[in-house]
Structure 1
Amino acid sequence: MAEITANYLVQDSLELFSLPDIYFQLREMINSPRFSMNDIALVIAKDPALSARVLKIGNSAFYGDQARIDTISRAVAVMGNENLRHLVFATTIVNSFNKIPNDLMDMTAFWLRSLNCAVIAQLLAKKSAVLHCERLFLAGLLHDIGSLILYAKLPGKSLQVLLAADHKRYLVADLEQEIIGFTHADVGAELIKLWGLPDSLSEAVLYYLTPEKALMHKLDAHLLFLATRLTDSIQQNKSVPEILAEVSDETLSIVRLGESQIAEVIKQADKEFEQMFELIAIDKRFH
């Protein structure tokens, strides 16, 4: 039997993990000045689940006290392009992976961590004065997506990896390379390419564990690496100095952020994560 590669595994998974047409349609419309809020609302209205979520968000405390919103177009106008883009990206991607069995992974915990990383990655990018920093939100959300394909397509080997890692995330990639022959980052980058998402995103995900190897999008890779470190270290209640002691001087030099700026990001991330969690309501998808 021929050796399985990351590309082969993803090609074999596309039917199971394809994104719906509405994702690509709305992405194009949100990014183009040719389409009005009404045009976007008409497309959203074709998807009852997305319509209900947009209306719920438009009427949520996130947007303050205001008259009740009862039309999709009004909700879209209130949300604005950036929040709508986040909602569409996150909702469609989370829904595409809602059939992963919970045997190997608590899916609620997986998406909560990914969402937390997404919020931190975007805040770091803003602090670092990155143009179009919202792309780092998607990078944070997708950085671990390859793991889900490994769990679905190679559950036996994935279980071997998880048992050997014994809850130590920093051991996972090396164990994947040893046991499977490639890592979740390799798989995630291949999936992102086949979905037709930007090269900056696939390269950031491919090299988020080894950002020094990135070629064209080095800053994105280092920001994503730092975001994943912050996400895991915050969960372990580490202080900012403790976290930064584990981050290379190269990363801190490239992202151009100091201790006080990173502390501000962590503080702001708490608030923004709660808001984004309310927008996407991930915990209700997997019960």
Structure 2
Amino acid sequence: MLAGIRNLPPVPFIMVEISKLLDNPRTGAADLGKIISKDQAMVAKILSVANSPLYGLPRRVSTIEFAIVILGFDQIKNIVIAFSMMEAFRTKEDRRWNRRSYWVHSLMVASAAKRIADDLGIRKSGEAFTAGLLHDLGISVIQKYFNDDFQKINNLVEQQQMRFINAEEKILGISHQEIGKYLIEKWNLPSALGEAILYHHQPSLAEEEKKLAAVVHLADYMTQRFQIGGFNWDESIDLDLGVIEILQLGDESYLESLIESYHELFKVNLESLNL
């Protein structure tokens, strides 16, 4: 079904150019900044994220060159990949699709996943941001390329009080997580991202990237728990308690205190996002 979509967007030019630059050991911050600066919307997004409280940088970042120095090449690459994919699969708003709500949710989960990964000492915090931003990309694909099915899914949810994830599988035979993983493979991005996206509702089922899936799951759950940056397709999301063992959090009591410790930060972060 997905392979039959003839007009799936190609890999964006900026991603190709950045990959080429990073393959060259002589590339400096100015070289990378020059490429990214060709897309001022991308520059604005990177600076907005870098300066958000959840991202956790100790000082304000005002230029893309400084952002590259502070964040490092790998972090910048992860951010550009994530934003490029989000933009490539951008959809039109309609009665049942609040594009702004989807963007805010994706940004909140991305920033929170990175912060949680950093706080817990998980090395792949940059990939946590990317996976967080792209975790629901499959939903926008359903809305854009399978809109009739998108409407049927919404009808099922409204008429039978069915969860979105169950309605997706009933109508399409696959979930938005599986679609997201397919897109990661289609664009030849790291398999770790695909697995984290595939299991972001149930990280306990992940085989290789349990930690990455777990931090995205926690961030996703927090948006619903706090009702800050939430998205309607995630309503009634269940917390996978397997994150306790995966992230070595001790017990449910400690997990609860950890979750609550982010509540105020979520509030401040939502106010700071410049969309």
Instruction: Report the TM-score, using the length of structure 1 for normalisation.
Output: 0.74
**Partners in 1 of 2:46 and 2:240 — Cα distance?**
41
Q: Equivalences for 1:225-236 in 2 at 5 Å?
A: 225-235=217-227
Contact kept, 8 Å, 2:177 with 2:197, in 1: the verdict is: yes
Structure 2 residue aligned with 1:131? 123
- Say yes or no: does 1:207 pair with 2:199: yes
Judged with a 3 Å threshold, the aligned counterparts in structure 2 of structure 1 residues 109 and 49 are, in CA distance, closer, same or farther, namely closer
Give, in angstroms, the shift of residue 254 of structure 1.
1.3
Instruction: Give identity over the alignment, percent.
Output: 24
Q: 1:117 to 1:48 in 2, by over 3 A?
A: closer
Q: What's the CA shift for 1:45?
A: 3.9
Question: One-letter code of the match for 1:266?
Answer: H
Q: Output the amino acid matched with 1:172.
A: F
CA distance in 1, matches of 2:193, 2:224: 21
Match of 1:268 in 2: 265
Q: 1:76-121 CA deviation, whole Å, 9 max, x = no partner?
A: 5467547744652454233223343434311111111111111121
Q: What are the superposed Cα offsets for residues 2-36 of structure 1, whole Å, 9 maximum, x if unpaired?
A: xx3xx425xx25x4433412123325646875310
Alignment of 1:78-117 (within 5 A): 81=73, 84-85=76-77, 87-117=79-109
Structure-to-structure mapping, 1:64-75, within 5 angstroms: 73=65
Aligned twin of 2:143: 151
Shift of 1:39: 1.2
SS in 2 for 1:209: coil
Kindly state the Cα deviation for residue 252 of structure 1 after the two structures are TM-superposed. Answer: 1.8
- Superposed counterparts of 1:276-287, under 5 Å: 277-278=273-274, 281=275
Corresponding residue for residue 8 of structure 1: 3
Q: 1:45 to 1:208 in 2, by over 3 A?
A: closer
Structure 1 residue 53, shift from structure 2 partner? 6.5
Structure-1 separation of matches of 2:51 and 2:147: 41
Shift of 1:177: 0.9
What is the one-letter code of the residue matched to 1:263?
A: E
Q: Which has the higher contact order (CA 8 A, sep 6+)?
A: 1
What is the alpha-carbon distance in structure 1 between the residues aligned to residue 122 and residue 172 of structure 2? 35
CA shift in 2, pair 1:50/1:145, >3 Å? closer
For structure 2, the 5+ residue unaligned runs are 230-237
2: CA distance, partners of 1:236 / 1:131: 27
* More moved, 146-155 vs 86-95: 86-95
Counterparts of 1:14-29 in structure 2, within 5 Å, are 15-27=7-19, 29=21
Alpha-carbon RMSD across the aligned residues, in angstroms, is: 3.7
The separation in 1 between residues aligned to 2:239 and 2:168, in whole angstroms, is 22
Cα distance between partner residues in 2 of 1:53 and 1:21: 17
Give 1:140's aligned residue: 132
1:164 aligns with 2:156: yes
TM-score, structure 2 normalization: 0.77
Preserved contact between residue 123 and residue 269 of structure 1 (Cα < 8 Å): no
CA contact (8 A) 1:55 1:75 kept: yes
Whether the aligned pair in 2 keeps the contact of 1:123 and 1:265 (CA below 8 Å) is no
Residues 63 and 102 of structure 1, relative CA distance in 2, 3 Å threshold = farther
Using the alignment, how far apart are the partners of 1:142 and 1:57 within structure 2?
15
Q: CA deviation at 1:203?
A: 0.5
Give the letter aligned to residue 222 of structure 1.
A
For 2:16 and 2:213, the matched residues in 1 are separated by: 24
Larger Rg: 1
